[in-house]
Amino acid sequence: MPDADIYVYDNNSNDGSDEIASSEGAIERHDYKQGKGNVVRLMFRDIDTDCYIMVDGDAL
């Protein structure tokens, strides 16, 4: 999907996945509230699109 906008939402991860994604052109966002549910709610508020693909990037 070469034309897709890739967003990375980080909520206090310490594995560096946000920095790696950002260096590859992803749009980086931060949510400092712990929990995946907080990030998912923020994502749906921030991004208006027809299709969402969610992937968990934590390595551990």
**27 within domain boundaries:** yes
- Alpha carbon of 48 to those of 15, 42, 45, 57: distances in Å? 28, 11, 8, 22
**2 within domain boundaries:** no
Q: How far apart are alpha carbons 40 and 6 in whole angstroms?
A: 15
Q: What is the pLDDT along the chain (60 residues), one digit of tens a residue?
A: 788 899 998 888 888 888 888 899 999 998 888 888 888 999 999 999 888 888 877 655
Q: Which residue range forms the structural domain that includes residue 23?
A: 7-46
**31 within domain boundaries:** yes
Report the predicted TM-score, pTM, of the whole model to 2 decimal places. 0.75
**14 within domain boundaries:** yes
Name the domain count of the chain: 1
**60 within domain boundaries:** no
